[in-house]
Amino acid sequence: MKKIKRFFYSADIDRFRFYVQIISFGVLIYGGCLALDLGTHLPTFACPFAAGAGGTCYLFPLQHQANMPLRQLLGGRGIGLLSGLGGFFLFFIFFNKSWCGFICPLGAIQDWITRLRVRAGIRYSMYSKATFQRLKKIKYLLLILLVLLPLGISNSLFGLPRLSHDFATPYCMACPGRTVLPLFSGDAGQLAVDFSSATTTVLTALGMTVTGLFFVGAFVKRRFFCFFCPMSALQYLFSKAGLLRLTKDGGKCTRCGNCYRVCDMGIREIAEDIESRNIVKDDCMMCFKCVAACPEENCLKVSFLGATLYAATEEGFFKRSSREEKRGT
Amino acid sequence: MEPDRTERLRRTLKKRLAAETRETLQWTEQRNTGSPKAMRYFYDVFRRWEDPAALVGDKPVIATSCMQVPLELILACGAVPLRLCNGSHALEQAGSEFLPAKACSLVRAIMGMISVFRERLQERLSLVVVPTTCDQKRKAVETIAEGAFKVYPLEVPPSKHTEEAEVYWRNAVKKLALTLEKVTGTRITAGRLGGAVNDVRQASAQYRRLSRMQQHDPPLLSGKDMFLVMNGFLFDDVNQWTAAVARLNDELDERKQQGLFAGKGAPRILLTGSPPLAPGFKVPLLLEEAGAVIVADEVCSCSRLLDDAVVCGEPKLYDMIPAVADRYLKPCTCPIFDSGEDRRRKLMESVRRFDVDGVVYQSYSGCQLYQMEQRGVGHVFREADIPMLFVETDYSPEDRGQLSTRFEAFVESIQSRKRRI
Amino acid sequence: MKRFCGIDIGSAAVKIVLMDEAGNMIAHSISPSGNHFYRSAADALTRLLETHGISKDDLSRTVATGYGRKLFKDADLSISEISANALGTKKVNGNGVPVKTIINIGGQDSKVILLDDDGNVKEFGMNDKCAAGTGRFLEMTALNMGLDLDELGRLHLDAGRTPVTINSTCTVFAASEIISLLADGHEKGEIIAGVHCAIARRVALLADRTGVADRVLFDGGGALNQGLKSALEDELMREVAVPAIPQITTAMGAALYACEGF
């Protein structure tokens, strides 16, 4: 049993994740063709605008459900919102934020672009500590707007006039998922500005800009988009209840910073925080690169309902390093 | 000094140095008949100290001091790193000429090494890289340069974990890489650096394996032998050293099966503080003579050298050089930084991992850093009810009797503690 | 009948304690070390055994301690004088208030030993590099003033006036200072008191660095000197207890170790 465990702990998690991402991509983009439908509560960017998608991202129904008069929201119809949230929660807690690292198709695309960048020898950028602290708040702002904007259609919020119906799914208009994911089924139709009204023009133009930023950003910074992602913010609200856990034993930490170095999101706290046990921060996408980079036995651990699935081991660290060296990567 | 006197001094010092080396070998190789056969390689490497000019082989040499200089960069340039830090009383006295009376023994010994073996070193030495760690090392830069050596001060930040420190150090290491390229005439490519990183990482892997042998109760190797093994790393060829340690590890695994141990029943000690260095290992030798066995250490001539490992995110120079830089700064437990927290935590973790009975904290007389850190470290151990003995010493053999008395008293007090518990 | 022997070979004197199996002291001796520690120690032991009609074969175990313990080849074991002193203190103190600190002023060193609740060594500090806090300073003072060591204590306590401050930190330089103080017309008593204060201050510094806790036991040859005891109490600002025969506490500890181990 111990030998099997040690074999798994020495595995190259990044390689494993690469394959999981490909399979997930397949399921989420093409699953519909095989009559797969994982529902509308997915905690990931499975886009309904892509024909043949195997499921729908939860933010889509969320925006629709927020578009309700407050009276009804707080009354019987509000239960719909709650049950939607409940469905999202149930899907979420199994994999915690590893939905971002292992399953999200937008994440996978960014990772593929990163591989191209590395092959081209272009160096990456990272945010300074101060910038990081300032920018990370944006995703919460975006999450709040995601709910407020549709709400503002059925209600007059803050004394403002009601918003036009073109604001129905504002985030879908702005989201790069809508423009990029259908491309994989041969549909380039979303890459356009909709001039039917002022609102749609602005929103779709914003969508084109965001798409551009998405691609450029991925060439400049690893997982650029994920830093601002409102889905990430929504997930983090429930992360503490996640059944899949990433924990740290601070006593073993030498503060070598290897975990922070390899972190695509650039989270310093993995290295700096030696007090917390649960080391999943709001930007974390639970890709577990940090666990693979840690040379201290059992310092970082991935567990599911108490059972350890993957842990940092000395043996694993050195095995992986020499494998990488042999591969010349 | 006039050439005749210099020559005379040199001959005398070389003789004394050879005598010091032989004495240490007597206490280890000869008295330690139960030592593993694979130790012979390390005794032979240690023997080179009888004539340090032989430490400098045929390849271009980059001399270093301290442990913050990234060896991977030197290796990637096809050069050989040579650490000047040594524990010779003879060289310490030779170096006293250049330094104040109360200066640190180690800095004096470095100056002594440089002045006594100047001609031979100048033939082979392309550069002396001195990290600006403690005050005395920093000021020694100019003194070393007086000896007509090309010296490069490697700028070490006074903090470890601030963003400014990280940027400062990464830039310093980048500059060093460029300088090394110029001096050796070899470009550092991703392939060469990757190879060097891997070589050092393999050494680290074998070191960790060896260190784990000491977690066993009783340990499989005496502390004396461990120090001699690590001493080899300071100037031996990396790959040869790694292979020799691998052989030693294999033999120790066998000995574990056969039940052959070192220091059975002896109190398990963690030695920390100023580093014991070749050829004088006075403190570890006396400590083990007094009946203890050193199972763990926290010094820059032993465990600190290879405990940490580099990880590269992307296999390109723009990532590898900062990766190498980070490994030499962030986990570093040298007392030069404004916070000793990482060191205290590491000490406590080592005490736990190696099931240590007591700690011996040594400080050289000229070293204020270790003496000042002793307070904080002492608090931590007192709170954890772990006995700690603080000794202040230098390279001279005069205080052997006094050290022995203290070590014996410490060992006896631990033994009586263990009997009660 | 089994007999156990503890022999403390100090730089100034050889102290021997003979003990029976129950741990009671049968005999003891104190004699000068002279120039040949081993010979003096061996002779002293022979004499003590003869005086009490005990043959060497009766000695079940001999434990040596002190500065010259490694030189004394006739011992079965040796232990450090710190551990021996702690053991001896346990015996000497008996059921009294537990001793937490031992201050030993010997011929060539001074020690401060902190004990835990069980009377075992917790921490210790030694001054064995400088004669300024040791019996050697007293010897030199007595020599320079043409007095016997035994007279120093009484002269200190009889002198009414405040002690003279000795400025030199070095024992050797202090000798010249004392001579000039005598020439200036200072009383022997007040100069001796000054010397005692200088020693006490040094020892108190060592004690502060190591830690002091009540109850304090003062032993070693220096404890015979009432003047020095008083100066030490002033510096430590607490009372110190002195055992009946302060020079043999360490030897007693060695004998106890021979008798019953730790």
Put simply, whether A290 touches B (Cβ < 8 Å) is: no
Gap between the Cα atoms of B391 and B389, Å rounded: 6
Distance CA B108, CA B101 (A): 10
Contacts of B314 in chain A (CB under 8 A): 118, 124
> Residues, chain C, total?
262
Residues listed for chain B = 421
**Interchain contact, A254 vs B331, CB within 8 Å:** yes
Cis before residue A182, ω within 30 degrees of 0?
no
Choose the weakest-confidence range: A231-235, A270-274, C108-112, C174-178.
Answer: C174-178
How many CB atoms are closer than 10 A to CB C123? Answer: 21
The type of residue at A207 is G
Asked whether residue B313 carries a pLDDT value surpassing 50, the answer given is yes
The answer to the question of residue C103 being in a domain is: yes
Residue B137: which pLDDT band, with cuts at 50, 70 and 90?
very high
Whether pLDDT at B403 is above 60? yes
> Rounded to whole angstroms, how far apart are CA atoms B140 and B144?
6
User: Could you give the C-alpha distances from C205 to A38, B420, C110, C174, in angstroms and in order?
Assistant: 78, 32, 11, 19
Contact state of B331 with A251 under an 8 Å Cβ cutoff: no
DSSP 8-state assignment for residue C134: S
- Cβ–Cβ below 8 Å for B416 and C128: no
Q: Looking at the domain A239-327, which fold is it?
A: Alpha-Beta Plaits (3.30.70)
pLDDT score, position A266 = 93
Task: Check pLDDT > 50 for residue B171.
Answer: yes
Q: For residue C261, name the pLDDT band (cuts at 50, 70, 90).
A: low
Please report, for residues A319, B369, C18, C20, C25, the alpha-carbon distance to residue C2 in angstroms, rounded to integers and kept in the order given.
64, 54, 11, 6, 13
CB contact under 8 A, B405 and C81: yes
- Nearest residue to B278 via CA among B144, B84, B94: B84
Select from B197, B318, B323 the Cβ nearest to the Cβ of A261. B323
CB contact under 8 A, C121 and B416: yes
Placement of tokens 């096809």 in the chain: B78
B185 phi/psi in degrees, rounded to 5: 70, 15
Structure confidence by residue, pLDDT tens digits, B297-308 = 999 999 999 999
Q: What is the pLDDT of residues C54-78, one digit of tens each?
A: 888 888 899 999 988 888 888 899 9
Domain membership of residue C228 (yes or no) is yes
Q: List the one residue out of B111, B19, B280 whose CA is nearest residue B11.
A: B19
| Predicted local distance difference test score (pLDDT) of residue A211 | 93
Which residue bears the tokens 């031979």?
Answer: B120
Q: How distant, in Å, are the alpha carbons of C2, C108, C145, C252 from that of C18?
A: 11, 25, 37, 8
Domain presence at residue C124: yes
Beta-carbon separation of A256 and B331 below 8 A: yes
Q: Cβ of B315 under 8 Å from any chain A Cβ?
A: yes
**B304/A contact by beta carbon, under 8 A:** no
Which pLDDT tens digit goes with each residue over B215-229? 998 999 999 999 999
Residue A17 has pLDDT above 90, yes or no: yes
* A14-39 mean pLDDT: 91
* Residue C6 confidence (pLDDT): 94
Residue with tokens 């924990």: A247
Instruction: Quote the CA–CA distance of C137 and C201 in Å, as a whole number.
Output: 13
Q: Which chains touch A (3 or more CB pairs under 8 A)?
A: B
Count of structural domains, chain C: 1
Indicate the DSSP class of residue B276.
P
In this predicted structure, what is the pLDDT of residue B6? 78
Examine residue C14 and state whether it is found in any structural domain, yes or no.
yes
CB contact under 8 A, C129 and B405: no
Expressed as residue numbers, the domain containing C230 is 3-129+203-260
* Structure token digits, residue B151: 């010296």
For β-strands B151-154 and B125-131, DSSP reports them as parallel
**CA B91 centroid distance within chain:** 17
Question: Domain residue spans in chain B?
Answer: 3-420
Give the burial class of A67: count Cβ atoms within 10 A of its Cβ; 0-12 exposed, 13-18 middle, 19 or more buried: buried
ipTM: 0.89
Q: What is the pLDDT of residue B421?
A: 62
Spatial separation of the C-alpha atoms in residues C30 and B387, rounded to whole Å: 34
Answer whether B419 touches C (CB < 8 Å): yes
Return the closest-CA partner of residue C42 out of C9, C85, C76: C9
Would you place residue C257 in the very low, low, confident or very high pLDDT band (cuts 50, 70, 90)? very high
- pLDDT-based confidence at residue C152 (cuts at 50, 70, 90): confident
User: Kindly report the CA angle at B225 between B221 and B227, in degrees rounded to 5?
Assistant: 120
How deeply is C95 buried, as exposed, middle or buried, from its count of CB atoms within 10 A (0-12, 13-18, 19+)?
exposed
Sheet containing C13-20: order of strands: C25-32, C13-20, C3-9, C59-65, C77-78
Contact B402 C118 (CB under 8 A): no
Of the pLDDT bands very low, low, confident and very high (cuts 50, 70, 90), residue A329 is very low
Query: pLDDT tens digit string along A155-200?
Result: 888 888 888 888 888 888 889 999 999 998 888 888 888 888 888 8
Put simply, the answer to whether A251 touches B315 (Cβ < 8 Å) is no
Residue C68 maps to which CATH number?
3.30.420.40
Residue C104 phi/psi, 5-degree rounding, is: -115, 120
Peptide bond connecting C215 to the previous residue in cis, omega within 30 degrees of 0: yes
Distance CA C42, CA C20 (A): 20
Are C3 and C43 contacting, i.e. CB atoms less than 8 angstroms apart?
no
User: What pLDDT is recorded for position B226?
Assistant: 95
**Which chain B residues contact residue C124 at CB under 8 A?**
406, 409
φ, ψ (nearest 5 deg) of residue A11:
-70, 160
If we measure between CA atoms, which residue out of A5, A252, A267, A224 comes closest to residue A111?
A224
Which tokens go with A204?
A: 């779709």
- To the nearest 10 degrees (0 to 180), the angle between helices B282-289 and B223-233 is 160
Q: What is the mean pLDDT of residues A15-40?
A: 90
Residue closest to B227 by CA, chosen among B307, B176, B291, B300: B300
The identity of residue A232, as a single letter, is S
Chain B, 156 to 175: residues with Cβ < 8 Å from chain A are: 160-161, 163
User: Are C220 and C12 in contact, with CB atoms under 8 Å apart?
Assistant: no
Q: How many degrees, rounded to 5, is the angle at CA A288 between CA B353 and CA A118?
A: 120
Distance CA B116, CA B6 (A): 8
Q: Name the residue among A261, A271, A295 with its Cβ closest to that of B313.
A: A261
**For C78-135, what is each residue's pLDDT tens digit?**
999 999 999 999 888 888 889 999 999 988 889 999 999 888 899 999 988 777 778 8
Select from C81, C121, C126 the Cβ nearest to the Cβ of B413.
C121
Helical H segments across B265-333, by residue range: 282-289, 303-306, 317-329
Task: Categorize the per-residue pLDDT at B263 as very low, low, confident or very high, splitting at 50, 70 and 90.
Answer: confident
- The whole-angstrom separation of Cα B389 and Cα B395 is 19
The amino acid at C23: G
B412 touches chain C (CB under 8 A): yes
| Assigned domain for C165 exists | no
Of B406, B408, B413, the CB nearest to C120: B413
Are B412 and C129 a contacting pair at CB < 8 A?
Answer: no
In single-letter form, the type of residue at position A151 comes to L
- Dmax (CA) for chain C in angstroms is 62
Q: What is the pLDDT of residue C44?
A: 92
Nearest residue to C3 (alpha-carbon basis) of C49, C68, C59: C59
pLDDT at A327: 65
Look at the block and give the residue holding tokens 């551009």: A212
Residue A160 exposed, middle or buried by CB count within 10 Å (0-12, 13-18, 19+): exposed
* HEC sequence for A137-188: CHHHHHHHHHHHHHHHHHCCHHHCCCCCHHHCCHHHHHCHHHHHHHHHHCCC
pLDDT, position B207: 96
Total residues belonging to chain A: 329
Per-range mean pLDDT, top range of A109-123, B115-129, C25-39: A109-123
The more confident residue out of B358 and C140 is: B358
Give mean pLDDT, residues B143-154: 90
Kindly report the average pLDDT of chain B as a whole number: 92
Q: Does B301 touch chain A (CB under 8 A)?
A: no
Q: Does C57 reach chain B within 8 Å, measured CB to CB?
A: no
Q: In what order do the strands lie in the sheet with C121-127?
A: C121-127, C110-115, C101-105, C216-219, C240-241
Distances in Å between the Cα of C155 and the Cα atoms of C107, C143, C218, C224, C231 are: 21, 15, 20, 14, 13
Of A293, A318, A329, the CB nearest to B201: A318
pLDDT surpasses 70 at A221: yes
DSSP letter for each residue of C75-107: -SEE--HHHHHHHHHHHHHTTSSPP-EEEEE-S
pLDDT for res A117: 94
- Ramachandran region, residue B69 (left: φ > 0; alpha: ψ -120 to 50; beta: rest): beta
Q: Nearest residue of B to residue C116 by CA position?
A: B417
Evaluate whether B203 touches B242 at the Cβ level (below 8 Å). yes
Nearest residue in chain B measured CA to CA from A259 = B311
Say whether pLDDT at B115 is over 90.
Answer: no
Please judge whether C128 and B402 are an interchain contact, meaning their C-beta atoms are less than 8 angstroms apart. yes
Which pLDDT score, from 0 to 100, does residue B344 have? 95
Cis peptide, bond prior to residue B219, ω within 30 of zero: no
Query: From the centroid of its chain, how far is CA C126?
Result: 13
Residue A121 has pLDDT above 50, yes or no: yes
CB contact under 8 A, C83 and B416: yes
User: CA-to-CA distance for C153 and C134, rounded, in angstroms?
Assistant: 15
- The predicted-structure confidence for C183-242, as pLDDT tens digits, reads as follows 888 888 888 888 888 889 989 999 998 989 989 999 998 898 898 999 999 999 999 999
Q: Tokens representing A289? A: 């690169």
Q: Pick the residue from chain B with its C-alpha nearest to C85.
A: B409
Residue B53 has pLDDT above 80, yes or no: no
Q: Which residue among B399, B402, B419 places its CB closest to the CB of C262?
A: B419
* Residue C175 counted as domain residue: no
pLDDT digits (tens, 9 = 90+) for A229-259: 999 999 999 999 999 999 999 999 999 999 9
Nearest to C83 among B401, B402, B413 (CB): B413
Inspect the interface and report whether the beta carbons of A321 and B201 lie closer than 8 Å: yes
CA C144 to chain centre: 22
Distance CA A12, CA B130 (A): 38
Closest CA to B81 of B140, B133, B127: B127
Tell me which of B400 and C94 has the higher pLDDT.
B400
Neighbour tally for C58: CB within 10 Å: 15
Looking at residue C62, what is its pLDDT?
A: 93
> CB distance from C129 to chain B under 8 Å?
yes
pLDDT at C262 over 60: no
- Average confidence score pLDDT of chain A: 90
| Residue B224 touches chain A, beta carbons under 8 Å | no
Q: How far apart are CA C10 and CA C15, in angstroms?
A: 8
Across the interface, whether the CB atoms of A321 and B315 are under 8 A apart is answered no
